[in-house]
Each structure stands twice: as structure tokens, then as C-alpha cells.
């Protein structure tokens, strides 16, 4: 059975040594209480619940799955008890708005805890993740009355949340949804329709579930401009917050899935259910994207978490499994064979896992830092710049983290050889659980289109130039040390490659309507590698003064591996971007 140990040393290294997060938090109103000691205590306690409560029920949750019977959904054995422990310990409101009972911890810190949750038990983690996203949207767009009525119970974990977008005939194309909301005399709306693929749409963990539902009024404009957002509780709630009658919200069935089987994926029916408008009429997509953007980043963290737990177990196996001798001769002559860790190809797989997992973890903290600045900084210009950077980097975080996360889980399975294919070892579950992360919250192809279309081409690459300027400024401030010269050279070249490719994209995007779609995924992967180079350069610089510590010397060597063995792929991605769309579109339908 697979085991999990939270990477506390690495998380604290990223927060304290790479980004000096405590100094940033101390400088901004709203985060000043988040000291290094408090952050360490939170991560240590978070590690305990993840290691001791959630990880032990992960395989059991996969084996049992959720069950549906006559409209009632039950989670696997142990999930309800674990959730009660989770909620009673205050984890549901870790990053929540303090005015409504949340703890207001910085995003740089909460991304670390969320990664632990996904590594320990991805199915379980999705329930609080959907609640957190719903709380963000309610806090940003709902009336004060709705916020006061619903947020405290959600932050304490007594009530949970869900996001209801997709319908059977409309996936990404939300403009054609059929769910309707009819105004009522009391100011509420009667919501009717069916939504599919609703994560946590129904379960037995909380006494109420607060659904955020996209719907259209009968006279709404056609297309996306006619979508509104409604808060629809499973159980009606009176003005004092007391539960009342059923709200005509039911689960028609649950999906039987490849992975994350302990997470209920529901078909939800709304039959004249009482709902409340969130935000303005016909502007529901803008309100819902507050939640969607949170979910994009958190699903990226799912990719990191699963990559890390796969790496941990693959490394332990490689140190223990004896097979053949090292190419240079026996390293353990007293044993019948050497551990497979001596073999170059096994090291290639493990180092690839390590380099991508740790690089993505640092990049997640970087995005979290920009979110903290965008929310809390006292300078509006700085806040605006950080907000733009979050918009640019969010689709990369979702797609790049989950693509690399899935690939890393496959590598971890491969290290085990035949045992990796056997359920009892746990590695094949990580592969199955990781696969969905590339699909939901907007497929990774949609993320790539969002990046290259809305975030790059639409503004002629201005935000990418800002990202490049931040890299250039960092290089100027780096310590002048010969040991860092290879990283400076690699980072400068990677930044130039990104800027050159971006110029090519913005110049050619108007010449061929298929160009953006053809270049999008390759461009995102190139950008991801450049971002990883930035992160590994920062980590190398932070590790160098402590190079006599095996943790830091390992960082430096992994950084060298990244720039020599993984970064060169960026040049291939540029070549593919510049190849254009012609070969993709050349075949007729009959020639496929």
C-alpha cells in the first residue's frame, strides 16, 4: 500500500528561502499575522491530518467508491468521520474571509496545504475544494445578506458547496445551457434544469450543500450574455440560518469513473428549486469565473500532489528493489543484486519526477504570491500588475501542473515495473486519479486556447513582456557567483525564447484563423518550461549558500538536471509553434 509524507522541508524552503514570504506578509494589511512560525505550525498540523487521517483511507475510498441508492449518495467508509475531524479542526475556512468566520491565511500558504490534501487523498480533497471556490464567488459577488447567511456555515464546514455549469448538450459552450430561472414575487427565483458532472453535488458529509447554478431567465439574451448565477441550497434555509424543507434538489445518478472514485460526480436535478441571484442579471459567467479560476489553480495542485506521492513511493521502491548490477560494477556486493536506483534510466524517471514536482510546487507558490499581492497590497498599481500576472499564469498552472502530474504518475508506476500495474501497490490508482485533472475545470486544450488567445494575442503579448521583465529584474539582483552562471545563462536564453515565440504568435495570429488553435498547446508547454527555469534558478540561488546540507546540494544537482535534460524541449516546442497550422488542416475528413 502506498504511503505519504508531507514534504514540509521543501515547502518551508520555498516559502522562507526562495520567496521570503513572511517578509511579504508582514508588509501587507490583512496578512501581517502570518509569521514564519505560524505558517510552520499550520503546515505541520496539516501534515498530521493528511498523513494520519486522509492517506490511510485513500485506497479504501478507491475500492468502495461512492454509492447511489434511491437518490441518496453515500461516501466510502471513513470519509464522514475524516470530514468531521477536518471540519472540527478548522481546515475548511483556512483561507476564508475573516468577517464571516474564515481564518484569512495567505494564498501562498494555503496552496501548500491543498497540495498535501490532494497527495493524501484526491477524492476527499475535492469536497472542501469545491466549497472554498463557492465561498470565493459568494464573497465576491453576492449580497451582504446572502454572505452573512451562508458563508459562516460553509467556512466552518457544516455546509459544503458545488459548482453547477455543465449540461449534457453543452460542455464548454455554456451559452446554450437550458436551465431556467423564473423570477418569484418574494425576490427569489425558481430554478429548473439538469446539470451533469457535478463534483460533490450530493453526499453525506454535510447537512446542506450550497449549489452555484448557471441559468437563464426566460427573456435573457441569447448566448453567454444571457447567463446568470444563482445560489441554490439543497435544503431551504430561513432568515436565521435554520434548515427547513427540501428545496427540490435531487441527485439523479452518479458517474462510474476511471478514478477519484471516493468523490461523487453527480447528475443534479433542479425542479423549481428556490434560488437567489448572485451578482448582476445576465453577468453570471463573470461571477462564476471567480470560482472557476480558483478551481483551475486547485486542480493544478492536484497534479502536483499526486506527482509527489507517486515520486515518494517510487523512490522508496527504487532504493529497496534489488535487480541486476550497476553498469560500473556492484555497489552492494554483499547482496544478490544492486537496488534499481543505480540504473541510469531509473534515475532519469525519478529525477524527472523530482524536477517537475518541485519546480511546479515553487511556481504554485509564485502564483499564490501574486494572488496575495493582488488582494492585499496597498499600492493599486502593484495590485493591478499582480492581478494581470495571475490572469496570465492561471491557465498555465492548471494545464502544465496536471499534464506533468499525470506524466509523473506514469513514470512512478513505470519504476515499479509489473508491480506498478497491480492495485495493492497503489501506483495505478495515482495514474487513474491524476488523469481527470487534465479534463475537468476546462480541458487543458481549453486552457491553452485561453492563454494564447485571451492572455497573449488579445493584448499583443504585453503581459508576457511583463513576465519577461520580472525575470530580467531578478537576474540583475542575483548574487554574482560563478556557480550560478549556468542558471543565469539558461534563464536568459529561455526568456529570449519565450519573447521571440510570443512575438511570432502575435505577428501571425491574424494571418490564419487556425493558427492560434494549432499553436496553443505547444506555446503553453514552452511557457511552462520557461517558468520552471525561473523557479529552478531561484531555488538554486537560495540553496547555494547552504550547499553543504544534503537537501540543498540535492536541489542544486536537480536544478542542473532540469536545465540540461528537460529545458531543451522548449526549442522543440518553439519549432512546432512556428510550423503553423497547415499540416494539421491539410487532411480532408475522408483522409483521416
Tell me if residue 166 falls in helix, strand or coil.
coil
Of the residues 441, 470, 569, 591, only one is catalytic, namely 441
Residues in the chain: 592
Q: Which residues pair with 198 in a beta bridge?
A: 266
Task: Determine the Cα angle at 377 with ends 16 and 139, to 5°.
Answer: 105
Concatenate the DSSP letters of all residues of 344-358 into one string. Answer: HHHHHHHHHHHHHHH
**Cβ proximity of 325 and 332 under 8 Å:** no
* Of 96, 104, 109, 105, the residue nearest 44 (C-alpha): 109
- The span from the CA of 193 to the CA of 187, in Å, is 20
Pairing state of beta strands 72-74 and 159-164?
unpaired
Distance between CA atoms of residues 315 and 462, nearest Å:
42
Which ranges in 142-188 belong to alpha helices (H)?
144-155
Q: Kind and range of the H or E element at 48? A: helix 36-49
The three grid cell numbers given for residue 83, joined into one nine-digit string: 470530514
* Strand 235-237 to 243-246 pairing: antiparallel
Cα 118 from Cα 111, distance rounded (Å): 11
Cell of 216: 437563464
Indicate if 441 belongs to the active site: yes
Q: Residue 426 and residue 355: Cα distance in Å, rounded? A: 22
Cα 500 from Cα 363, distance rounded (Å): 22
End-to-end, the C-alpha distance of the chain in Å comes to 44
- Cα distance between residue 320 and residue 146, in whole Å: 56
Residue 460: partners with Cβ closer than 8 Å, 6 or more residues away: 506
* DSSP notation for 409-472: HHHHHHHTGGGGGSGGGSHHHHHHHHHGGGTSSS-HHHHHHIIIIIIIGGGTTHHHHHHHHHHH
H or E element that contains 180: strand 180-183
Among 87, 125, 141, 383, smallest CA distance to 260 is for 125
Enumerate the active-site residues.
Answer: 441
Amino acid at each position: 500500500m502506498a504511503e505519504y509524507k508531507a514534504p514540509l522541508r521543501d515547502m518551508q524552503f520555498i516559502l522562507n528561502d526562495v520567496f521570503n514570504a513572511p517578509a511579504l506578509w508582514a508588509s501587507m494589511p490583512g496578512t501581517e499575522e502570518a509569521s514564519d512560525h505560524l505558517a510552520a505550525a499550520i503546515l505541520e498540523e496539516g501534515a498530521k491530518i493528511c498523513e494520519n487521517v486522509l492517506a490511510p483511507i485513500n485506497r479504501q475510498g478507491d475500492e468502495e467508491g461512492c454509492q447511489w441508492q434511491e437518490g441518496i449518495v453515500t461516501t466510502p467508509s471513513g470519509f464522514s468521520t475524516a470530514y468531521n475531524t477536518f471540519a472540527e479542526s478548522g481546515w475548511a475556512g483556512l483561507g476564508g474571509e475573516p468577517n464571516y468566520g474564515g481564518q484569512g491565511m495567505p494564498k501562498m500558504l494555503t496552496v501548500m496545504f491543498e497540495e498535501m490534501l490532494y497527495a493524501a487523498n484526491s477524492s476527499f480533497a475535492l469536497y472542501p475544494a469545491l466549497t472554498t471556490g463557492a465561498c470565493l464567488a459568494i464573497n465576491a459577488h453576492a449580497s451582504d445578506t446572502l454572505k452573512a447567511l451562508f458563508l459562516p456555515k460553509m467556512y466552518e464546514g457544516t455546509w459544503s458547496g458545488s459548482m453547477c455549469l455543465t449540461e449534457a448538450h453543452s460542455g464548454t459552450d455554456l451559452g446554450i445551457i437550458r436551465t431556467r430561472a423564473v423570477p418569484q414575487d418574494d425576490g427569489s427565483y425558481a430554478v429548473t434544469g439538469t446539470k451533469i458532472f457535478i463534483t460533490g453535488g450530493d453526499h453525506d458529509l454535510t447537512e446542506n450543500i450550497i449549489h452555484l447554478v448557471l441559468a437563464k431567465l426566460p427573456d435573457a439574451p441569447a448566448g453567454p450574455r444571457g447567463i446568470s448565477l444563482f445560489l441554490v441550497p439543497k435544503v431551504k434555509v430561513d432568515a436565521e440560518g435554520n434548515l427547513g424543507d427540501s428545496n427540490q434538489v435531487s441527485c439523479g445518478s452518479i458517474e462510474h469513473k476511471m478514478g477519484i472514485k471516493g468523490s461523487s460526480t453527480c447528475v443534479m436535478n433542479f425542479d423549481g428549486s428556490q434560488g437567489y441571484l448572485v451578482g448582476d442579471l445576465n453577468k453570471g459567467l463573470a461571477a462564476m469565473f471567480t470560482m472557476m479560476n480558483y478551481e483551475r489553480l486547485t486542480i493544478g495542485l492536484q497534479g502536483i500532489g499526486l506527482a509527489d506521492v507517486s515520486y515518494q513511493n517510487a523512490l522508496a521502491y527504487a532504493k529497496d528493489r534489488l535487480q541486476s548490477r550497476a553498469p560500473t560494477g556492484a555497489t552492494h556486493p554483499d547482496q544478490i543484486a544492486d537496488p534499481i536506483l543505480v540504473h541510469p534510466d531509473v534515475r532519469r524517471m525519478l529525477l524527472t519526477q523530482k524536477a517537475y514536482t518541485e519546480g511546479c510546487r515553487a511556481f504554485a507558490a509564485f502564483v499564490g504570491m501574486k494572488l496575495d499581492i493582488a488582494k492585499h497590497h496597498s499600492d493599486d498599481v502593484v495590485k493591478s500588475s499582480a492581478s494581470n500576472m495571475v490572469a496570465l499564469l492561471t491557465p498555465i498552472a492548471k494545464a502544465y501542473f496536471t499534464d506533468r502530474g499525470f506524466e509523473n504518475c506514469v513514470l512512478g508506476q513505470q519504476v515499479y515495473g509489473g508491480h506498478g500495474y497491480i492495485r495493492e501497490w497503489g501506483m495505478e490508482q495515482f495514474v487513474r486519479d491524476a488523469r481527470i485533472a487534465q479534463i475537468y475545470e476546462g480541458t487543458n486544450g481549453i486552457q491553452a486556447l485561453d492563454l494564447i488567445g485571451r492572455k497573449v494575442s488579445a493584448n499583443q503579448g504585453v503581459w508576457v513582456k511583463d513576465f519577461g521583465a520580472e525575470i530580467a529584474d531578478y537576474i540583475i539582483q542575483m548574487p554574482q557567483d560563478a556557480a550560478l552562471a549556468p542558471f543565469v545563462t539558461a534563464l536568459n536564453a529561455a526568456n529570449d525564447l519565450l519573447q521571440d515565440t510570443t512575438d511570432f504568435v502575435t505577428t501571425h495570429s491574424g494571418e490564419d484563423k487556425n493558427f492560434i488553435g494549432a499553436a496553443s498547446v505547444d506555446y503553453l508547454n514552452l511557457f511552462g518550461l520557461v517558468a520552471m527555469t525561473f523557479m529552478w534558478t531561484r531555488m538554486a540561488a537560495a540553496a547555494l549558500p547552504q550547499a553543504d546540507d544534503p537537501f540543498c546540494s540535492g536541489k542544486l544537482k536537480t536544478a542542473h538536471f532540469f536545465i540540461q535534460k528537460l529545458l531543451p524541449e522548449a526549442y522543440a516546442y518553439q519549432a512546432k509553434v512556428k510550423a503553423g497550422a497547415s499540416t494539421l488542416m491539410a487532411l480532408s475528413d475522408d483522409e483521416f
